[in-house]
């Protein structure tokens, strides 16, 4: 019958057990017999990462790519006199490819690493371009500017150069860094 309810194996009778009768904690017949349970074990994890993935190697390659991208961004900005936001996408892609090539990771950890390094490369590129412009304005070398640079001056420099459009390009760089950092599954 479809309307008949089966008794719950967790239910107990509200009447006290009769001496010599069945225990209220006994299993109903056919429920929980040993042949109904399957014992499974978790797969063994190897100590080595899958496919030779290495987060430290990916980090080092991504950091170098972020530094190169920042220098290229600052160079283009200084040479043209314009801050070209599309350079952020190039920095993000460069960092992502470097993390993927060196790190060989398939997890989102590599994507997050690439995204953070891409954002750092974009911020460093903007900062370096501003530092070059400021050193030219003060008529001092870049080395002298960096020795006299205080955290307050650095924050004021970045806020003076900030445009709301930068957020869009930073977001695109973060996306490129994330997307290109993960080795696609075959």
Domain ranges of the chain: 52-181
Tokens 């989102």 locate to: 108
Q: What are 84's two structure tokens?
A: 């070209």
pTM reported for the whole predicted model: 0.70
Query: Considering the chain, what percentage of its residues have pLDDT values greater than 90?
Result: 65
DSSP H stretches of helix in 13-107: 55-80, 87-103
pLDDT at 90 over 60: yes
Angle at 62 between CA 57 and CA 65, to 5 degrees: 130
- pLDDT, mean of residues 112-117: 97
Residue 178 burial by Cβ neighbours in a 10 Å radius (0-12, 13-18, 19+) = buried
When comparing pLDDT for 56 and 34, which is higher? 56
pLDDT at 111 over 90: yes
Q: What are 11's two structure tokens?
A: 């239910």
Instruction: Write down the pLDDT at residue 47.
Output: 44
Rounded alpha-carbon distances, angstroms, from residue 5 to 1, 10, 36, 96: 9, 14, 21, 58
């Amino acid at each position: 019958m479809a309307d008949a309810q089966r008794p719950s194996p967790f239910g107990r009778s509200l009447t006290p057990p009769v001496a010599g009768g069945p225990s209220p904690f006994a299993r109903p017949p056919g429920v929980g017999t040993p042949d109904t349970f399957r014992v499974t074990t978790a797969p063994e994890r190897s100590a080595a990462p899958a496919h030779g993935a290495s987060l430290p190697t990916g980090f080092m390659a991504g950091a170098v790519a972020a530094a190169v991208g920042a220098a290229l961004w600052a160079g283009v900005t200084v040479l043209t006199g314009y801050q070209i936001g599309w350079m952020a996408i190039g920095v993000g892609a460069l960092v992502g490819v470097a993390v993927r090539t060196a790190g060989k990771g398939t997890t989102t950890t590599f994507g997050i690493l690439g995204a953070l390094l891409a954002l750092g490369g974009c911020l460093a590129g903007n900062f370096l371009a501003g530092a070059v412009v400021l050193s030219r304005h003060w008529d001092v070398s870049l080395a002298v500017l960096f020795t006299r640079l205080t955290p307050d001056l650095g924050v004021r420099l970045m806020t003076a150069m900030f445009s709301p459009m930068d957020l869009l390009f930073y977001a695109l760089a973060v996306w490129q860094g994330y997307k290109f950092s993960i080795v696609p599954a075959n």
